[in-house]
Structure 1
């Protein structure tokens, strides 16, 4: 009886995730160990696995959802995770040579990837493909944040959008639930960060640029756009022009 209870208790314990084990696999395997592991798979098997990873990422990218390494391993790589790095190198080459896309690791700590259109990088065309309205809305919000030094309070963003007849409290003909689009979809896609401001009562939030926006959008082009609206020279905004020029030189 006691033995049965022990067995039942052990089975009821929550299973540990494999992410820590995966991290050890990726960080501790030597090149010779990887090579030996590779010999367990035929070339055609590796080719098929590369194709599966490419397809998995493309499906996620249709909704601009960033892809986690843990999800690639769990849903696609599985027993092939011992040769993960080799497969991902080939996946990167496939995206660049076949699709003209770049697989970018935007979060090296949590290993999160996005796809970037190499032909449109630095512009705004690829931000919300098929929906120029969303691209325009996102562009306006990112402009507000940038011109405010990288952080903009939620109320400022909403009030600015209201002036453009986009009220987050009302259903919009094109965007439907504006607040959900901005604070959920754009945040999930890593275009924006929506952060609670500490020690505020009632609770307040602020917006910042997300990792994807930093990679896909040219701050210099954005500043030039804002300058055109105000009929001024981009260098009129000294701090923003300095930041935009610095980010441009790093790309």
Structure 2
């Protein structure tokens, strides 16, 4: 009897847990399936709000972006709607338009949607676009210097590099992935976690490898922020060669970058 009672209690407990989970599911699904309101819906929403209310919500969204940008973490529309926009979601397009204009006119920044499928945004400096000097090439930031080396290697190797090649290259520069570096801390975590979350790098599992192997690609943020021409100049100076010595990379670096850039949110 005691054993049957325990089984019955376990069953009812798991059943109540499933029911509890089903109660929160609609909120999650609703958030994940959020779609942009139509122009008429936005107009109706604006009619119910005062200009001061819309301005206040716009300021909150601007602050949210600025805080996240300090760590170079892309902002997901899902999180933005859930944690900041909230009950103002029916005027979301208008808020984003105003936020984009604020960054452009007040901060000199451009709000860019780097992932149109998952709706992820970043801020980039309008004065440091892909055609101009890269902010990553600045020697005042050692961590970005580390990233610049990795992006250079990936670019020169045709856009993809196996993980072990990255680690071997860093070892030659006396940066040991398995040791704590005085500037970078845990090097492997910085490269495979931090740079990946920031969308500077993509860390991709190679299919059918045993043991499992990974490779690195340029991330969406790197495509937006980093000048490939600048990287080629850096490599040419390093090897004391003309940039055109690498004909394939030279063509890629000097092809029109605007065709591959993500559209800004204000264009959507």
Q: What is the TM-score normalised by the length of structure 2?
A: 0.84
Alignment of 1:209-220 (within 5 A): 209-220=218-229
Is residue 175 of structure 1 aligned with residue 169 of structure 2?
A: no
Tell me the matched-pair count: 244
Equivalent pair of 1:124/1:135 in contact (CA under 8 Å): no
Deviation sequence 1:104-132 (CA, Å, 0-9, x none):
1000011000010111223332x499961
Corresponding residue for 1:185? 194
Q: Which residue of 1 aligns with 2:103?
A: 95
Distance change >3 Å, CA 149–CA 51, structure 1 → 2: same
Alignment of 1:2-17 (within 5 A): 10-16=19-25
The offset of 1:31, in angstroms, is 1.9
CA distance in 2, matches of 1:12, 1:164: 51
Q: Tell me how far apart the structure 2 counterparts of residues 129 and 15 of structure 1 sit (CA, whole Å).
A: 46
| Normalised TM-score (structure 1) | 0.90
1:117 pairs with 2:125: yes
Please tell me the root mean square deviation across aligned C-alpha atoms, in Å: 2.2
> Deviation string for 1:154-186 (max 9, x for gaps)?
111111111111010111111111000100000
Q: Is the 8 A contact 2:137 2:148 kept in 1?
A: no
| 2:67 matches 1:59 | yes
Structure 2 CA distance for partners of 1:172 and 1:25, relative to 1, 3 Å? closer
1:128, 1:248 → 2: CA distance? 18
Whether 1:232 aligns to 2:241 is yes
CA distance in 2, matches of 1:50, 1:16: 29
Assess if the C-alpha contact under 8 Å between 1:19 and 1:70 holds in 2. no
3-state SS of the aligned residue for 1:16? helix
Q: Which runs of 5+ in 1 are unaligned?
A: none
Q: Distance in 2 between matches of 1:48 and 1:129?
A: 36
Q: 5 Å matches for 1:194-213?
A: 194-213=203-222
